[in-house]
Amino acid sequence: MCDRSLCQVVFFLPLGKAYSYGIPSHLESRVEVGCRVRAPLGSRREVGVVVALGGEAPEGVKDLEDVLDNEPVFSRSLLDLTRWASRYYLEPWGLYLKAALPPSLRQGKAPSFPKERWVVWQGRGREKPTPRQKELLDKLKPLGRVPLKIVISDWGFGRDVVGRLAAKGWVALEEVEEEMPLSFTLAPRKDPLSLTPEQKGAYDRVVRSLGTFAPFLLHGVTGSGKTELYFQWGELCLQQGKGLLVLIPEISLTPQYIKRFTARFGREVAVLHSGLTARERLQEWLRIRDGRARVVLGTRSALFAPLEPLGLIVVDEEHDTSFKQEESPRYNARDLAVVRARLEGCPVVLASATPSLESYRNAMGGRYGLLELPRRIGGTLPRVEVVDMTGEKALFSRVFVEGLRETLEAGGQALILLNRRGYAPFLLCSSCGQALKCPNCDITLTYHREPLLLRCHYCGHTRLPVDRCPECRGEMRPLGVGIQRVAQEIQALFPGVRIGRMDRDALKGRRAHWEVLGALERGEIQILLGTQMVAKGHHYPRISFVGVVLADVGLHIPDFRAAERTFQLLTQVVGRAGRGGQGQAVIQTYMPSHPAVVYAARQDFLGFVREELERRKALGYPPFSHMARVLFTGTRREKVEEAASGVAEKLRGRAGRLEILGPAPAPLARLKNRYRWHILVRGKGRRDILALLGTLPQRVGSVKIQIDMDPYGVM
């Protein structure tokens, strides 16, 4: 029997169902769908979310202990979105609810702004300020009041400067419970730019769809003015009292995006990404929830921002694999953005210079509206030269070095890409050919010189390098090329040049991205070296030369998307050159005739798509099919193999039209001391795959089973 005094609760735990609880009379008026509650679960008291009222009363039903919110922290549409994700990605609903909230709210704490100290302009002081103190006052005066943290971390003034100004009466320090926007900036407001005819056509089509669900693919070449469209769409949304949600793929893009968005929207901008502290995430979440910030900029988790009502969602660089979360709870933020837009009844724009094949085929088939920006604004596409390195003995070709030298002599800046960390991929014995491997993973240890060590980039294991082989005592030598070696050799070729690096090893600290990109913008860096993160979305008009070292490094990965990813990476990085005029790019490769290289050099997206789609269709890979990966992991190899074989046999008995590939050892057959086998399930219909895999257990004995719908990698 259905009873209004019952409710259904989902906890922030990997549990497979909602639990029924009674609602005590003194709490009945406060319980709403979307509110957090505290309730007994076994011998513990846990925090969860009310997802429904009523339901069947099981025998011995327990009562809620407390209601933690005066108003819901989840809207109905966000509850529907997280539930949809749970059902599609076959993971517990509670993990998606957990991913959507700041850490303090998951723990049951009150949703209130943390106290912040602010520096407040007082007008006049008792003593004349020093030049340094006057510099701070000049920045503070137009704003009136600024968070102390911003004065110290962003403006670079010490606490002593602030303290002395306070003692002289020029400023006051106030501690209040108030927001401190992470997007705080002194950048002057920028007015909208005039749109080109192509931009105006794209703008109008989206504007006509505001207020209804309509998915679009915006295919615009690098530098074609996509961001200006986001601004103008966003301004219209704000005028209508609605919000703009913009997803970007990586934190490395955040500094420049924050600067550009706050120059247009000021304090309306909120920022959400994994690099925030728990305190910062809470205050940005509250600014969004309370309607103080209606433009949300962030990485994939920003998809769950409590932005209501929502006017438009934009997914920038929609092709980027960073939108796929590989750890539990798994989801693709790009795909869920389309689902959220449908639930909210608003348009969604997926944008890229190199759209994913899935999105482009959806546009070709009419499922998405296609918006095209075929021309660059304020510059031309760079001249690209491909160098066949099979006959070269040096790391850099003559064309590469000459192009770099001409750029530096002309006062320009250069960007150099090598998508490989460290100094060399491994240490190899020159006598017996043995390479030093990680003791926990089936992977060689990467040789680093800064600092000097060998590191596993999967489990984090490190050890000191050795000069002699542990097996035969032969000489150990670094083999191959990493970004540290590129930096060393560039510095040797151009001793006085100022070089910056952007890779996971070079960027230490929360503000490292800001510092490197700020130095590049100010001209303090002449050459920026980096891995794939330097290829994404950055707009720096002074970069006139782009060099790619080992362009084919990603083509050797055992993955059907290897060619697509290489083409996208090369096209994107080449597009960083020539935004302020004529640019040049040099692509060094041992595979100059590979389609990914050939079409990237031509900046020919359609040519690559036609050829790659033909190949995918012939092999039956997405987007002509759907896939799921079932991964088996455990500490005993024979148990993992046995579990994988048993599950594969059962799946084949119920597969119907689906194809079961495997089981087989994963390409990385052991990671973090766990053996890995996998099965691929492939077929025309997602529903068939979900029905087949939805009944799988989470474990077979000691072997863990993980399901990855629409996998982006099979390593």
| pLDDT tens digits, one per residue of 550-572 | 999 999 888 899 999 999 999 99
Beta strands 527-530 and 413-417, pairing class: parallel
DSSP H or E run through 617: helix 605-619
The more confident residue out of 56 and 145 is 145
**DSSP notation for 404-416:** HHHHHHTT-EEEE
pLDDT more than 90, % of the chain:
74
Residue 700 and residue 100 in contact, taking contact as beta carbons nearer than 8 Å: no
Mean pLDDT of the chain: 91
CATH class for the region spanning 383-420+482-618: alpha beta
Dist. CA 100–CA 78, nearest whole Å: 9
| pLDDT tens digits, one per residue of 114-155 | 777 889 999 888 889 999 999 999 989 888 888 888 888 778
CATH of domain 6-106: 3.40.1440.60
Q: Is the pLDDT of residue 247 over 80?
A: yes
CATH of domain 626-709: 3.30.70.600
pLDDT more than 70, % of the chain:
96
Sort 469 into a burial class: Cβ within 10 Å, 0-12 / 13-18 / 19+: buried
Taking residues 170-186, report their average pLDDT.
68
Where are the chain's structural domains?
A: 6-106, 115-177, 197-373, 383-420+482-618, 626-709
Alpha-carbon distances of 665 from 356, 442, 449, 653, 655, rounded to whole Å: 28, 11, 33, 21, 21
pLDDT confidence bin for 181, thresholds 50/70/90: low
| pLDDT tens digits, one per residue of 329-349 | 999 999 999 999 999 999 999
pTM exceeding the 0.85 threshold for the entire prediction: yes
Same fold, 6-106 and 197-373: no
Taking residues 652-674, report their average pLDDT.
95
Dist. CA 331–CA 326, nearest whole Å: 8
Q: Is the pLDDT of residue 427 over 80?
A: yes
CATH class for the region spanning 197-373: alpha beta
The more confident residue out of 508 and 696 is 696
Phi, psi of 428 (to 5 degrees): -125, 140
Residue 133 and residue 92 in contact, taking contact as beta carbons nearer than 8 Å: no
Beta strands 36-41 and 66-67, pairing class: antiparallel
E strands present in 389-505: 413-417, 426-429, 446-449, 452-455, 462-463, 476-479, 499-502
Which residues neighbour 426 within 8 Å (Cβ) at sequence distance 6 or greater? 435, 436, 444, 445, 446, 447, 478, 479, 480
Q: Is the pLDDT of residue 87 over 50?
A: yes
CATH of domain 115-177: 1.10.10
Q: Which of 672, 673, 682 is nearest to 714 (CA)?
A: 682
Q: Is the pLDDT of residue 180 over 60?
A: no
Q: Is the pLDDT of residue 536 over 90?
A: no
| pLDDT tens digits, one per residue of 485-500 | 999 999 999 998 999 9
Task: Write down the pLDDT at residue 186.
Answer: 46
Strand order in the sheet with 171-177: 145-147, 115-121, 171-177
